[in-house]
Amino acid sequence: MTDVPSSVPVPPPPDPVRDPWRAPMRLALAEAVRARETGDVPVGAVVLGPDGAVIGLGHNTREASGDPTAHAEILAIRAAAGTLHGEWRLHGCTLVVTLEPCTMCAGAAVLSRLDRVVYGAIDAKAGAAGSLWDVVRDRRLNHRPEVISGVLAAEGGDLLTDFFRRSP
Residues belonging to the binding site for Zn(2+) are 71, 102, 105
Rg (CA), the chain: 17
DSSP 39: T
* From 37, 63, 73, 146, active-site residue: 73
For residues 123 and 135, the answer to whether their CB atoms sit within 8 Å is: no
Q: For residues 120 and 154, give the distance between their C-alpha atoms in angstroms, rounded to a whole number.
A: 8
Residue partners of 130: CB distance under 8 A and separation at least 6: 100, 122, 136, 137, 147, 149
For residues 159 and 98, the answer to whether their CB atoms sit within 8 Å is: yes
* Separate counts of helices (H) and strands (E) for the chain: 5, 5
Residues annotated within the binding site are: 71, 102, 105
Q: Where are the beta strands (DSSP E) in 100-157?
A: 116-121, 146-148
73 assigned to active site = yes
For the annotated catalytic residues, the residue numbers are 73
